Amino acid sequence: MFQGFTGKQATADATESIAWGTNIVGGVKPGWTGQHLGRPVLPTVREPHATAIYVSAQHAASAIEEAIEAGVPLIVAVAEHVPLHDMLRIHSILKTQSKSRLVGANSPGIISAVGRCRIGFQPLPCFSPGRIGIVTKSGTLSYETVASTTRAGLGQSLCIGVGGDILPGTDLREALSILEDDPDTDAIALVGEIGGTGEMDAAAWIKDYRSRARLPKYAQLIAPLIDRPIVGLVAGVNEARGRIMGHAGAFTAVGEPDARTKIAALQDAGVTMVNHPAKFGGVLKAILEDGTSHTRRDTGKSWVGGLLRGTQRRQFHSFTIGRFRQRRYNRPHISSIQQQRRRIHLPEDKCMDLLRAAGQVNCGTYSGHGTRRLLAVGIDRSMRSPCIIAAPATHEDELLTPNVKRFPFDFRRGPDRLSIERIASHLQLSNKGSAVDSLRRVIKSLVTIFFDKEAYLMTTHVVDRLGAIKIVAAQFSFDDAAFRTAGRQRDLHSLAVVAPEDEPGAAAEDSGIVYIRLAGTGVIGTLVNGAGLAMNTVDALADAGGKAANFLDTGGKATSETVKESFRVILQDQRVRVVFVNIFGGLTLGDMIARGVIMAFQELSLDIPVVVRIRGTNEKEGQKLIAESGLPLLAFDDFEEAAAKAIELCRA
Mean pLDDT of 99-103: 96
Kindly state the DSSP code that residue 500 receives in the 8-state scheme: G
Find out whether the peptide bond into 531 is cis, omega within 30 degrees of 0: no
* pLDDT value, residue 560: 79
- Give the closest residue to 280 by CA, choosing from 231, 236, 234: 231
Gyration radius of the chain over CA positions: 25
pLDDT of residue 298: 38
Rounded Cα distance, 557 and 334, in Å: 10
Report helix angle 57-69 to 84-94, nearest 10.
10
For the chain, what are the domain ranges?
2-324, 344-493, 512-651
For residue 485, report the phi and psi dihedrals to the nearest 5 degrees. Answer: -105, -20
With beta carbons less than 8 A apart as the criterion, state whether 159 and 136 touch.
yes
Q: Are 225 and 567 in contact, with CB atoms under 8 Å apart?
A: no
Least confident of 20-29, 290-299, 429-438: 290-299
User: For residues 160 and 170, what is the distance between their CA atoms, to the nearest angstrom?
Assistant: 9
For residue 306, the surrounding DSSP H or E stretch is none
pLDDT of 100 strictly over 90: yes
Q: Please indicate whether residue 44 or residue 409 has the higher confidence score (pLDDT).
A: 409
Separation of CA 110 from chain center: 14
| CA–CA separation, 377 and 85 (whole Å) | 13
The three-state secondary structure class of 605 is coil
Instruction: List residues bridging with 515 in a β-sheet.
Output: 552
**Domains 2-324 and 344-493 equal at CATH topology level:** no
Sheet containing 230-235, strands listed edge to edge, beginning at the edge strand earlier in sequence: 117-120, 109-112, 156-161, 129-136, 187-193, 230-235, 272-273
The confidence score (pLDDT) of residue 227 equals 80
* pLDDT over 90 (residue 220): no
Q: Where are the beta strands (DSSP E) in 518-596?
A: 524-528, 550-553, 578-585
* Cα–Cα distance measured from residue 330 to residue 411, given in angstroms and rounded to the nearest whole number: 46
**Neighbouring C-alpha atoms within 13 Å toward the C-beta of 312:** 18
Residue 615 CA to residue 621 CA, distance in Å, equals 10
In terms of Cα–Cα distance, which of 109, 104, 74, 66 is closest to 87? 104
CA atoms of 8 and 567, how far apart (whole Å): 30
Residue 347 identity: P
Instruction: Give the three-class secondary structure for 472.
Output: strand
Question: Quick check: 122 and 586 in contact, CB under 8 A?
Answer: yes
Return d(Cα 119, Cα 63) in angstroms, integer: 16
- β-partners of residue 525 are 579
Cα–Cα separations (whole angstroms), residue 347 to 57, 302, 350, 499: 28, 56, 6, 10
Distance CA 58, CA 485 (A): 5
pLDDT band at 221 (very low <50, low <70, confident <90, very high): low
Considering the four listed CATH numbers 3.40.50.2300, 3.40.50.720, 3.40.50.300, 3.40.50.261, the one that applies to the domain covering 512-651 is 3.40.50.261
What pLDDT is attached to residue 368? 87
One-letter amino acid at 126 equals C
Is the model's pLDDT at 639 over the cut of 50?
yes
Return the half-sphere exposure (C-beta side, CA atoms, 13 A cut-off) of residue 510. 6
Nearest to 405 by CA among 383, 435, 427, 436: 427
Spatial distance between the Cα atoms of 363 and 378, rounded to a whole number of angstroms:
20
Give the integer Cα–Cα distance in Å for 185 and 133: 5
pLDDT at residue number 218: 52
Task: Tell me how crowded residue 520 is: count the other CB atoms within 10 A of its CB.
Answer: 10
Distance CA 549, CA 519 (A): 7
pLDDT at residue 376 tops 80? yes
257: Cβ contacts below 8 Å, ≥ 6 apart: 197, 199, 200, 265
Most confidently modeled range among 197-206, 429-438, 494-503: 197-206
Angle between helices 432-452 and 417-427 (to 10 degrees): 110
Check pLDDT > 70 for residue 322.
Answer: no
* Cβ 119 vs Cβ 78: under 8 Å: no
- Per-residue exposure over 524-546, b if at least 16 CB sit within 10 Å of its own CB, e if not: bbbbbbbbbbbbbbbbbbbebeb
- Give the pLDDT band of residue 307 (cuts 50, 70, 90): low
User: Above pLDDT 90, what percent of the chain?
Assistant: 66
Q: Choose from 354-368, 471-485, 539-553 the range with maximum mean pLDDT.
A: 539-553
Give domain 2-324's CATH number out of 3.90.1150.10, 3.30.360.10, 3.20.20.80, 3.40.50.261. 3.40.50.261
**Residue 257: Cβ within 10 Å count:** 19
**Which pLDDT value is given to residue 556?**
58
Contact by Cβ (8 Å): 572, 527: no
Average pLDDT estimate for 444-471: 94
Task: Tell how strand 468-478 and strand 362-363 pair up.
Answer: parallel
Answer for the pair 83, 488: CB distance below 8 angstroms, yes or no: yes
Query: Could you tell me how many residues make up the chain?
Result: 652
Beta bridge partners of 159: 111, 134
Quick one: CA dihedral 165, 166, 170, 171, positive or negative? positive
231 φ/ψ angles, rounded to the nearest 5 degrees: -115, 135
What angle, rounded to 10 degrees, do the helices at 590-603 and 619-627 form?
30
pLDDT exceeds cutoff 50 at 448: yes
The three-class DSSP label of residue 420 is: helix
**How confident is the prediction for the chain on average, in pLDDT?**
87
Active site residues: 247
> Given a cut of 80, is residue 641 above it in pLDDT?
yes
Higher model confidence: residue 66 or residue 584?
66
Sheet harboring 633-636: ordered strands across?
514-517, 550-553, 524-528, 578-585, 610-616, 633-636
Which of left, alpha, beta for 120 (phi over 0: left; psi -120 to 50: alpha)? left
CB 488 within 8 A of CB 482: yes
Averaged pLDDT, 592-597: 87
**Among the CATH numbers 3.20.20.70, 3.30.470.20, 3.40.50.1370, 3.40.50.2300, which is that of 344-493?**
3.30.470.20
Closest listed residue to residue 254, CA positions, set 414, 91, 475: 475
Rounded Cα distance, 281 and 86, in Å: 38
Range name among 30-34, 304-308, 537-541, 572-576 with the lowest pLDDT average: 304-308
The answer to whether 372 touches 456, Cβ cutoff 8 Å, is no
